[in-house]
Amino acid sequence: MSTYSKEHIEYLKKQKKEKRLICFFRLLIIISFLIIWELLSRFEIINTFLSSSPTEVLETTIQLIKDNTLFMHIGVTLYEVIISFLIATILGFIIATILWSNKRIAKVIDPYLTILNSLPKVALGPLIIIWVGASINSIIFMALLISLFVTIITIYQGFSSTNQSYVTLLKSLGANKKQIFLKAILPSNIPTLISALKINISMNLIGVIMGELLVSKSGLGYLIMYGSQVFNIDLVITGVVILGIISYFMYFIIDRVEVLMKKSKS
């Protein structure tokens, strides 16, 4: 016998139906886009030399697999993204926690965070190469510059916006800052932390590709740059499509983590 009420079962059915509907429309959009793109190229409505086509992208991907270069480039980019993502997430969380725990430091640092976040990181590329060297380190450093400040600002704003009634209640019960942070601030900001992870992963991917465009001799950014240099648009579009797929899977992993956390709470 079911432990759920009839209303709750109906609600769960509606939720499942809604999820299926969303997945259907997501697939419909991407499939429609690919079909229209292929038809436009087949009927020569668009110039495939400038825009490629799904068929040519698939052929280029197969050729890269046969050459044993595709997974090498993907592996290099993934390694750089994961390393920079982990560093930016850990540093961002620690710095945001320090800023929350010390309002004086936060007031001093706040304008500098905004300034550093608004700096054109690509323009600093030559300086980064001089400082760090033309290596994988400069790529990771570029990704950190792009993602770290956004992560700090996002998490810190979440911590600062926590419902003060929770904090006041814990203070009245004699809780110290550590207890307030662990019992009120952190649990209340799980959605904020998940959002920070989603932003962070996209910012790191952008930073890594920018770094690879500047200094790398491997990776998807290098593949795109090389394709543009030899006017191989199929290679460029293939690199961009693979980046989109990687970005989706990374987003999907974080989204699954969020779902699992919600289930564990309930």
For the chain, what are the domain ranges? 1-46, 53-265
DSSP letter, residue 134: S
Specify the CATH superfamily of domain 53-265: MetI-like (1.10.3720.10)
| Alpha helices (H) in the chain, listed in sequence order | 6-42, 48-51, 54-66, 70-101, 103-118, 125-132, 136-160, 164-172, 177-180, 186-188, 190-215, 220-229, 233-265
pLDDT tens string 9-34 = 777 788 888 888 988 998 999 999 99
What pLDDT does residue 256 have? Answer: 84
Show the tokens assigned to 240: 């961009």
Show the tokens assigned to 181: 């942070």
What pLDDT does residue 1 have? Answer: 45
Contact status, residue 131 vs residue 68, Cβ threshold 8 Å: no
What pLDDT does residue 89 have? Answer: 94
pTM, entire model: 0.84
| Residue numbers of the chain with a pLDDT score lower than 70 | 1-4, 8, 264-266
What pLDDT does residue 130 have? Answer: 83
What pLDDT does residue 252 have? Answer: 86
DSSP letter, residue 5: -
Three-state secondary-structure class, residue 189: coil
What pLDDT does residue 265 have? Answer: 64
